Chain A
Amino acid sequence: MEATIEVSGLRKRFGSTVALDGMSFTVRPGQVTGFVGPNGAGKSTTMRVVLGLDAADEGRALIGGRPYRSLRNPLSHVGALLDAAALQPSRTGRNHLLWLAHSQGLTARQVDEVIEQVGLRTAERRRAGGYSLGMRQRLGIAAALLGDPPVLMFDEPFNGLDLDGIVWIRGFLRSLAAEGRAVLVSSHLMSELQDIAGHIVVVGRGRVLADASVADLIAAASRDRVTLRTTARSEAMTALAHAGATVAATDRDTLTVSGLAAEHIVAVLGERAVPFSEVTAHRATLEEAYMDLTRDAVQFAAPGPEAAR
């Protein structure tokens, strides 16, 4: 079975609210796929539909080409962490994993393995209700890894974690992908996915806004903008405008130039003897690329960044 998640044309309404509006994308093995969008964009609902928890009104969600509910040992096909608090507080962490293992015909040995893997050994015999958020997150990840599945899904795994936890999960996700697994990680903050995601699916209002590799996405967001630092702002603007570029002043001594490659800019300025101290091809951050894409799709946008305070 191929290790993929395929989602095509998912639609779902909750009453009058459209949760999914033709959601389609594919998650491939060997890399972390970031699943990004503002709160309420349909990320969790998509994951719940993939896992058979919710039924879509339309469309299909397949794991390795098969609907989740038809899988015989689902946990050896997909591991998922949806809500780390989804456990019974009075049961110990180890026993929580034990019943899960039994449901898949797995043994206590595998439970010990995943406990080791996520570093819960010292807490395994404590009531899961007493776990800190980070420990619960580890327990959830252990549950996802229990069946050693080729596909993994994590819903907002960084939420509420301290810095150590975030660093640990990032490394962990990267190594899981490096083993050749398909890893889908949702987040509402693009910055959390910087450096670990190889591919990004950006969603808003229940549909995919962008589905591209990180490299393409950044290139698209950067377009061909160049940042120019100069003390002779107006001369530079005139010269560049004559050469056919679009120029915008961003600061007292900084200009953003688009429509002209960096080497051309240097040539034009040299020709006219306009002084400049720096010419840099601008590289957008993932965050900027994301903001570009979701500007129109934010559902619960605050009136203004400061007005809420």
Chain B
Amino acid sequence: MSERSERIMSTATRVTPPDEGGLVKRELHAEWTKLRTAPGTGWVLLAIVALTVAVSGAAGTTVSCTQAGCGHDLTKLSLFGVQLGQAVVAVLAVLTISGEYGSGMIRTTLTAMPRRVTVLAAKAGILTGLTLATGIIAVLASLLAGRLILPGHGFTRAHGYPPLSLADEPTLRAAVGSVLYLALIALLSLGIATAVRDAAAAIGTVLGLLYLLPVIVSLTPDPHWQRHLWQISPVNAGLAIQATTDLPSLPLGPWPGLGVLAAWTAAALVSGGLALRLRDA
């Protein structure tokens, strides 16, 4: 046996025993290296921040207030860009798994790390961390943009709108919630992509869920059904976390709303995990 093949063998023997210490650490490290060295990851993260902040800022410039009581939820408006940023988050998430299926690298991955669910968990962990970090920047920058832009459009103390501030409890909740929302969207997309595998089909499914359901909700004529659909729609319910005014009119409170999205995410991850475990790679 040549030296080279011996080295391969010894690597393999080092990887196989699963009950060694640092269970997920190696997978995490591998997935982090993979994501870090993938071309485009940086650009996608930049796009998440840029799109979120740009759209939030643009939304802020479109409204104006000339008298007291304009009836706008400024926090929600300032975080409007999250509704577009989530699409890019979904892309990042889908590509972390579908990209591997597309190129066939998944076989290399699963050969090197045979504990498939752990691999998925590692991917989920890295993705969550990355989305949280990116989300914090995007959300804070969006709020800052709103704080700078909105007073110029008549949203002043005189009209009953103090500047946006994280010291304000509902705004803080909306900001934290929006970051969590983005992370949950990432995990939801990851779960769907793991179950669907094909990148195109996965991104279509995710975007359908993100953008189609809200339209169906808003076009549903029966108010009873509309409320019910709203309550189970991951985007509608999840974004309740951004609402700071008129909370009683919402079919679900902010945290229960985010809980609905979390339930979707859990379901998606479980089905993704099952598919990964049970199907041939």
Contacts and interface: CB of A to CB of B under 8 A. Distances in A.
Q: Is chain B in direct contact with chain A in the complex (CB below 8 A)?
A: yes
Interface of A: 309
Contacts of A309: 2-4
B281 to A, nearest CB: 14
A309 B1 CA distance: 11
B198 to A, nearest CB: 10
A282 to B, nearest CB: 34
B185 to A, nearest CB: 30
A244 B190 CA distance: 80
Interface residues of B, number: 3
Interface string B2-19: 111000000000000000
Considering the complex of A and B, which 3 residue pairs feature the smallest CB-CB distances, nearest first? A309-B2, A309-B3, A309-B4
Nearest to B4: A309
Contacts of B4: 309
Nearest to B3: A309
Contacts of B2: 309
A160 to B, nearest CB: 16
A256 B4 CA distance: 38
Contacts of B3: 309
A309 B3 CA distance: 7
B55 to A, nearest CB: 37
Where chain A touches its partner, the secondary structure class is loop
Contacts, number: 3
3 contacts: A309-B2, A309-B3, A309-B4
A309 B4 CA distance: 7
A309 B7 CA distance: 12
Interface in B1-51: 2-4
Nearest to A309: B2
A91 to B, nearest CB: 15
Nearest to A308: B4
A87 to B, nearest CB: 15
A309 B5 CA distance: 10
A137 B77 CA distance: 59
A309 B2 CA distance: 7
A75 B4 CA distance: 45
B102 to A, nearest CB: 11
B197 to A, nearest CB: 13
A301 to B, nearest CB: 19
B4 to A, nearest CB: 7
B201 to A, nearest CB: 12
A48 B4 CA distance: 35
Nearest to B2: A309
B45 to A, nearest CB: 28
B158 to A, nearest CB: 62
A219 to B, nearest CB: 39
B278 to A, nearest CB: 20
A307 to B, nearest CB: 12
A280 to B, nearest CB: 36
A48 B3 CA distance: 39
A309 B6 CA distance: 12
B196 to A, nearest CB: 15
A86 to B, nearest CB: 15
A55 B235 CA distance: 49
A56 to B, nearest CB: 28
B263 to A, nearest CB: 34
A30 B2 CA distance: 45
B153 to A, nearest CB: 50
A241 B4 CA distance: 48
A233 to B, nearest CB: 37
Interface in B82-138: none
B107 to A, nearest CB: 14
